[in-house]
Amino acid sequence: MSTLASGGFWAFVFVVAGIYTIFALGLQLQFGFAGLLNFGQVAFMAIGAYTMAILVAKEGWSMWLAAPLSVGAAALGGLLLGLPTLRLRADYFAIVTIAFSEILRYVATNDDALTGGAQGTINLRGTGVAAQYDAQWQRFQAHVQSFLGLHSRDAAMLVLVWGVAVVLLSLTWIAIRTPWGRTLRAIREDEDVAASLGKNVFAYKLQVLAVGAAFAGIAGLFYAWEFSFFSPDDFEPLVTFFAWMIVLLGGLGRVWSVPVGAILFGVIFAGTRFFNFVPFSYFGSADRAYLRLMVIGLIIILTVVLRPQGILGKRQEMVLE
Amino acid sequence: MFWQLVANGLVTGSVLAVGAAGVSVVYAILRLVNFAYGDFMAFGALIAYWFQGPLHLSMVVATLLAMLATAVLSVALDVALWRPLRARRAGFMSLFLASIGLALVLRQALLLVAGPAPRFYSVNPYRVFVIGSVRLAEAQVIAIAAAAVAIVLVGLFLSRTTAGRVMRAMADDRSLAAVSGIAVSRAIRLTWIVSGLLAGLAGVLAGLVEYSFDPNFGFQLLLPIFAAVVLGGIGSVYGALLGGLVLGVAMELSTWSGFAGGVNPTYKPVVAFVVLTLALLIRPQGFFGRARLA
């Protein structure tokens, strides 16, 4: 059977797209609406995923308590990063944020006692015990499945991820139409003007950084639950670049462009692993991995050069300078 | 132990300094934070490997050819990518993002062609120089010497030659330089050549002192190099030298047991990032001189 006809394949593509929609929406809020050049977004995904996994697997907390706390931890990470760095020039802010995400990844790789180290979450309770953090989630997912009468667990995950994604997209859509959102866009266009009108530019930037970080934390939770295991290598700067590709390709300064970019990303990222027809069948799995990232790099370049407003972006609203 | 760590730090720092000088020149003249620079370095390192290994050329010739090849790559990419973006008057963000895309494309292309296996230059690792209590391998001594020569040459080129003065004028004010009748496109090509030569050299030196390297290693060096650029002040090659050396010594000394027990060596890159962050917070204009090109 061709992969394209398999329901499980498409469920996986769309679950990945849903997780990345939430993740990239945070970046859209920060960059597309407030102009913050955040290149450390993956750090907040890592904080969300690790906080939940540590609290559940090591401390024995309930998932329902650990999950919201993890999102809070990601938001707090955004505040702590923003406090000293938001006054920096845009280029320096970009470099410091990526350095921040790398510092966290190095700590997660080397501090075995806290995170399980390079072996990942399976090592959370030390060697000899296979630690696991998602038993409660699996039960919840099974409940949702039987409640909705779905035929597979994947379908239940799909409903859950996209349910949360649509709620967050809608909230963002509303938020940018409030005075708060208009102020953000004013800051993006010219922060001196916003400041001269009495707006506390720094506070607004800090808020949007924290909210975007919280979104990344939520994406981290779903990432952890979908894959049942993760390690520091899952949070390389590359993941941040994926979010940038999604936001750029979909279109800057728009809310519903994010899922469009994320679905295209999902097809490239997840789809090309399983395409078993020509021309994909010419390449081995390692070469496919290289080609996949090459395509993502090319999409970033071509979007910047040929269509800086993205697929759905409006030139009048925001175009990459 | 202390002096050995300082010496090791000078070796690491020399490599960072050469890379930082190359990043710095492009940053100052083209306002481009070149995220693909680490992959230019990996490209240079692999080209030198190919000339030295399969083609049996001497290390010096292989290095020079690798530098040349990296410069050619830099100029070719300017024609294919950066010139169209300049023509569109693309701003800092577009350039930054395009360079991230380019970094991905370049690195994956290297992986596709050369594979992920670690490579080694065939140099004798047992020739060791002993100075007091410090022991340095031949490759380490060569790295320090080559870095010092390269930086001084670039510094003299920028301060003493007409072409160098043109580049500095561009760094100060591009439109003023253009209306003064300076051939802007030639100066830009020169900038890429200088930056490419330095990238090739930095890649080979990094491959020499780290003993083994793969196509991913350039990217891992990139953030410490950015740290050295910022520390030294953007556009200053001597600043890049100082920034690189300070950072290299700081990274190595952080593991010294006399220094509060020393940090775990695996945290050396973290030390670089922390120094970078502190440097930016305390003196965003860099520690050595204001932003200028000399």
pLDDT of residue A2: 61
Cα Dmax for chain B? 59
Are B244 and B14 in contact by the 8 Å Cβ rule? The answer is: yes
The minimum CA-CA distance between A293 and chain B, rounded to whole Å, is 6
pLDDT of residue B294: 44
Q: pLDDT tens digit string along A194-253? A: 999 889 999 999 999 999 999 999 999 999 999 999 999 999 999 999 999 999 999 999
The minimum CA-CA distance between A301 and chain B, rounded to whole Å, is 5
ipTM for the predicted complex comes to 0.89
Average pLDDT over residues A118-147: 90
Q: pLDDT tens digit string along A139-182? A: 999 999 999 998 888 899 999 999 999 999 999 999 999 999 99
pLDDT of residue A5: 67
Average pLDDT over residues A273-298: 80
- Among A106, A248, A296, whose Cβ lies nearest the Cβ of B269? A106
Q: pLDDT tens digit string along A7-40? A: 778 888 999 999 999 999 999 999 999 999 999 9
For chain B, say whether A59 makes contact (Cβ under 8 Å): no
**In this complex, do B101 and A293 lie within 8 Å of one another by their Cβ atoms?**
no
Average pLDDT over residues B135-159: 91
For chain B, say whether A81 makes contact (Cβ under 8 Å): no
pLDDT of residue B149: 94
- Mutation target for A interface from B26, B83, B94: give the one with most A CBs within 10 A: B94
Is the per-residue pLDDT at B137 higher than 60?
yes
**Segments in A111-251 forming alpha helices (H):** 112-115, 135-148, 153-175, 179-189, 191-196, 201-227, 237-250
Split at pLDDT 50, 70, 90, the class of B261 is low
Is the per-residue pLDDT at A3 higher than 70?
no
**In this complex, do B277 and A100 lie within 8 Å of one another by their Cβ atoms?**
yes
- Percentage of residues of chain B with pLDDT beyond 70: 95
Is the per-residue pLDDT at B193 higher than 80?
yes
Average pLDDT over residues B10-24: 94
pLDDT of residue A288: 85
Measured between alpha carbons, how far is B36 from B25 in angstroms, rounded to an integer? 14
Least Cα distance to A321 among A37, A87, A97, A99 occurs for A37
The minimum CA-CA distance between B168 and chain A, rounded to whole Å, is 21
- Among A99, A287, A320, whose Cβ lies nearest the Cβ of B93? A320
Q: What is the mean pLDDT of chain B?
A: 88
| Chain A residues lying within 8 Å of B100, measured CB to CB | 241, 244, 297, 300
For the CA atoms of chain A, what is the radius of gyration? 20
| Chain A residues lying within 8 Å of B92, measured CB to CB | 90-91, 321
Task: Determine the residue of chain B that is closest to A107 in CA distance.
Answer: B267
User: How far is the CA of B69 from the CAs of B89, B101, B186, B196, in angstroms?
Assistant: 28, 21, 19, 8
The minimum CA-CA distance between A294 and chain B, rounded to whole Å, is 4
| Chain B residues lying within 8 Å of A92, measured CB to CB | 230, 280, 284
